[in-house]
Every structure is written in C-alpha cells, then in structure tokens.
Amino acid sequence: MNLTNNVIRFTDRPEGRPTAETFAFDSETIRPLLNNEFLVKNLYLSMDPALVGRMRKEDNYAESVEPGEVMHAYAIGQVIQSNNKKVKVGEVRFGRFDMQEYAISNDTENTKAINLGLADPSWYLSLVGITGATAYFSLFDIGQPKRGETIVISAGGSSVGSTVAQMAKKVGCRTVAIVSTEEKAKQVIADWGYDAAVCYRGKSTEELEKQLALACPRGVDIYYDNTSGDISEALLDLYNENARIVVVGRLGISHLPDTRLDTGRRDNNVILSKRIKKQGFVLLDYQSKIMGAVIQIAKWIKQGDLKIKEDILHGIDKTPEAFFRMLDGKNDGKQLVKLADVNHQLDPSPRWLGAHLISKRFPTSILALMISRTRTSI
C-alpha cells in the first residue's frame, strides 16, 4: 500500500501563547511496518487545552513535544494493517495517534481498543472519554460532592466543566459557573442547568469575588479549578469549613511564558483556618480504572442523565483552526476534528457486549463501582 500521510508539525516552542507559526503542514509517504507495529487511520482528533502544556519544556505530567515532531494529540483511529498479534485489523482504538491522517504504533499498553456498542467513536474523545473520565474521577474521588453543597466551576462552559456541572447537579448540589462573557453565562445556564453563572472578563478579582458571593449565598464547598491564576484567587474568602479544591487545569495561566511566573495571594491562611483540602488531579493516574467510568457514563447518557455537545471541524487542514477555536473559547462543545468515517464492517469488536453492559436490566453501576472503585450517587 503506497499511502501519503498529511501531518501537522510542531515548529518551535512559542514564547507565551501559541500562534499560527507554531504549526506547519507537511506530507510524507508511509513506510512499511516493522515487527509488532500496526497502522491506524485516524478518524477523529481531540483538541485539548493540555496540548499547550506539551509545547513547553517545563515540569509537566504529559510528555513534551519536540520541534519538528508531528504535534501530539489524542485520537480515535481504525487499524488498517497490523504486524502485532494483539491488534486486529478493523479494530477501533483510542490513543495518542497525533495530528496526522495515519499513525504507526507498537504501543498496546497506552492505546486501547474501544467498543462501539457502548458509544459512538467520537464520544470516546468527549463525554465517555477524556472529558467524562476526568469529570467523573476528579469530582467523585477528590470533590466528594454532597446534596445541598455549592460547587463553583471555573471554565464552567468547557467540556469538562459542563460535565462536572451535570454530575454535581444530579447529586443535588448548587452549581455555579465562571465563564468569560455575559452571553456565555446565559448559555451555560440554559445548556447545562447551572443555578448561576458569573463572568470574569474585564473584572478585577474584587469585583469577581462580589459577584461570586451573590451567586453562592451559602458559601463554597467545592471549587472545581480548571483555570488556576487570578480567577481562582477570587474564591479565597468564600470557602466554607472543610471545603475541597480540585485543581484540574491551568487555562488562566497558559499565556505566561513560564507558569512559575504566576503570582497572587498566598492561600495558606484560608486552607489552614477552614481545614480545606486542595488536591491536583491527573487522569493518567486512573488508566487502570477508566473502563468503570466509561460504562457508567455511557449508561447515564443512554438514560438521559448526561448530555453531550461536540463541535466538529472536518479535514486535517482544519486542525490548527480547531486548535485555536478551543484555545480562544470559541468552541461550542468538545472541539474535535473529523478525518474519516469508521468502516463498521471491518470492526471485529463484540458490539453486542457493549450494548448489553448499558442495557436497562444490566446492573451497570455495580460493575462500574467494582472497576473504578469510585463511589457515585447520582
């Protein structure tokens, strides 16, 4: 097979925010597979804020991308050739297959076959994939929401934020979003059932704090922090005793040339006097438990308990545009790029099994609890 692979290369580390020059289009002929390798045709690429962290050369939980390399990205792809006994042709797999049309891999540990009886392929990059699993484990393991509590979610309209909001609402929490504009504030209330939403753009920390105090009349029990930086500082005087802060993202400081340049009020006094727990979350730590979240979330979607929203551009040449839509907050739902359709006839996975695991009679939540060891009560 003589295939041409169109790719997006990472040119050089940006000083601060990435620009159009951070990416370059290129194409190459795909080489023959070596032993244990398999060739994947990418179907969907995921545009994640964490890609900015990969462009930096600083201490991070994810591997850095090197200048000249194909830009990293998680993707869903279908195997079209295999020299690996563990990987079947036709299988649809999730993994870091990067910003390109085809990927060669020999990694069967970090790329996983997915079951299309449980969910559509793109959903494995959104609500049943990175987004949903991040929301599920960080909220229930660290946030530990209880009925009647108030949760504030920064980047409240983001895919992760809106999923956390839906889950917390089902538990019986008051949900409050922090978003960029008044228009977005109205939209997240309508779309995700937030009880209140405040906007941060153009406001001082003091002004944002006043708005948050009005939106949280019983104080704040959980702060779900997708941004870090100045936005998070506005919460400091609003916490109740034994509040939990779940640190999940750094969207608010990603424009800095070095995230160590972030400055602000020190929070130790509040943490100590209010007995607050503040904990960072990295999804990679949950890899062995992820299937529990996947089946539980797929069941919740089927029951109508969780909604999904995706924003899809088409074609590899649209990938940088999709990346900047995500970075500028212009995306309406999880930002994806679609490259190809799945060939359903080729897929050898037992779809009947996936469909059975989320069927009405099957005790999905018990199985999900056994695999994920995460207690949920929605």
Ligand X SMILES: NC(=O)c1ccc[n+]([C@@H]2O[C@H](COP(=O)([O-])OP(=O)(O)OC[C@H]3O[C@@H](n4cnc5c(N)ncnc54)[C@H](OP(=O)(O)O)[C@@H]3O)[C@@H](O)[C@H]2O)c1
**Which region among 18-26, 300-308, 325-333, 349-357 touches ligand X (by CB under 6 A)?**
325-333
Separation of alpha carbons 216 and 321, rounded Å: 37
Separation of alpha carbons 286 and 137, rounded Å: 8
**Per-residue H/E/C for the chain:** CCCEEEEEEECCCCCCCCCHHHEEEEEEECCCCCCCCEEEEEEEEECCCHHHHHHCCCCCCCCCCCCCCECCCCEEEEEEEECCCCCCCCCEEEECCCCECEEEECCCCCCEECCCCCCCHHHHHCCCCHHHHHHHHHHHHHHCCCCCCEEEEECCCCHHHHHHHHHHHHHCCEEEEEECCHHHHHHHHHHHCCCEEEECCCCCHHHHHHHHHHHCCCCEEEEEECCCCHHHHCCHHHEEEEEEEEECCCHHHCCCCCHHHCCCCCCHHHHHHCCCEEEECCHHHHHHHHHHHHHHHHHHHHHCCCCCCEEEEECHHHHHHHHHHHHCCCCCCEEEEECCCCCHHHCCCCHHHHHHHCCCCCCHHHHHHHHHCCCCCC
Sign of CA dihedral 129, 158, 228, 64: positive
Tokens, residue 43: 């179907």
Residue 134 sits in the site that holds ligand X (CB under 6 A): yes
Q: Compare residues 92 and 130 and give the one whose CB is closer to ligand X.
A: 130
Among 78, 111, 131, 232, binds ligand X (CB under 6 A): 131
**Which region among 89-97, 141-149, 202-210, 326-334 touches ligand X (by CB under 6 A)?**
326-334
Cβ-closest position to ligand X:
249
What does the per-residue mask of binding to ligand X show for 339-368, with x meaning CB under 6 A?
------------------------------
Among 326, 336, 339, 342, binds ligand X (CB under 6 A): 326
Pair 97, 79: CB distance under 8 Å: no
Binding to ligand X in span 216-275, by CB under 6 A: 226-227, 248-249, 251-252
**Which region among 150-158, 166-174, 208-216, 357-365 touches ligand X (by CB under 6 A)?**
150-158
**Which region among 12-20, 28-36, 74-82, 280-288 touches ligand X (by CB under 6 A)?**
280-288
Q: Compare residues 124 and 281 and give the one whose CB is closer to ligand X.
A: 281
What does the per-residue mask of binding to ligand X show for 164-203, with x meaning CB under 6 A?
---------------xx---x-------------------
Binding to ligand X in span 151-170, by CB under 6 A: 155, 157-160
Q: How many residues bind ligand X, per CB under 6 A?
A: 28
Shortest distance, CB of residue 353 to ligand X, whole angstroms? 27
Shortest distance, CB of residue 281 to ligand X, whole angstroms? 5
Residue 369 sits in the site that holds ligand X (CB under 6 A): no
Q: Compare residues 104 and 142 and give the one whose CB is closer to ligand X.
A: 142
Q: Compare residues 8 and 358 and give the one whose CB is closer to ligand X.
A: 8
Shortest distance, CB of residue 242 to ligand X, whole angstroms? 23
Pair 262, 229: CB distance under 8 Å: yes
Binding to ligand X in span 282-321, by CB under 6 A: 282-283
Tokens, residue 378: 């929605």
What does the per-residue mask of binding to ligand X show for 28-67, with x meaning CB under 6 A?
--------------------xxx-----------------
Residue 331 sits in the site that holds ligand X (CB under 6 A): yes
Which residues bind to ligand X, rule: CB under 6 A? 48-50, 130-131, 134, 155, 157-160, 179-180, 184, 226-227, 248-249, 251-252, 281-283, 326, 329, 331, 334-335
